[in-house]
Amino acid sequence: MIKARTAKFQIGQVVRHRIFSFRGVIFDIDPEFNNTEEWWLSIPEEVRPNKDQPFYHLLAENAESEYVAYVSEQNLLPDDSGEPVRHSQVAEIFIKDKAGGYRPRNSSLN
């Protein structure tokens, strides 16, 4: 039986990938893996994450592009750079607060 854990990160938090060079703002959280088996199996086995952990939906960016990413908790770290996330959908979902953080525009999201 898979037991879900409490999420370490929260909606609106900026994070970066532990291995790959991208970062983003979290806009949704799944308490455990909730994507297709095909997607999961497409990840090389030696770096494939466990399913029994939170997975995060990110408005992500790297040096070349902006996209939506689905990332396991084990592969995320907080991004404390203070740099804004440039993804074009950030303003649709979030309001930037005075401290530079992101708050959902619609509190019923998630």
Please check whether residue 8 is in contact with residue 71, taking contact to mean a CB–CB distance below 8 angstroms: no
What CA–CA distances, in Å, run from 79 to 2, 18, 48, 61? 29, 10, 22, 13
* Digit-coded pLDDT (tens) for 47-75: 899 999 999 999 999 999 999 999 999 99
| pTM for this prediction | 0.89
Cα distance between residue 7 and residue 1, in whole Å: 19
Q: Are residues 73 and 7 in contact, defined by beta-carbon separation less than 8 angstroms? A: yes
Give residue 1's pLDDT band: very low, low, confident or very high (50, 70, 90): low
Residue 67's contacts (CB-CB under 8 Å, 6 or more residues apart) are 60, 61
Distance between the two ends of the chain, CA-based, in angstroms?
Answer: 25
3 confidence band (pLDDT: 50, 70, 90): low
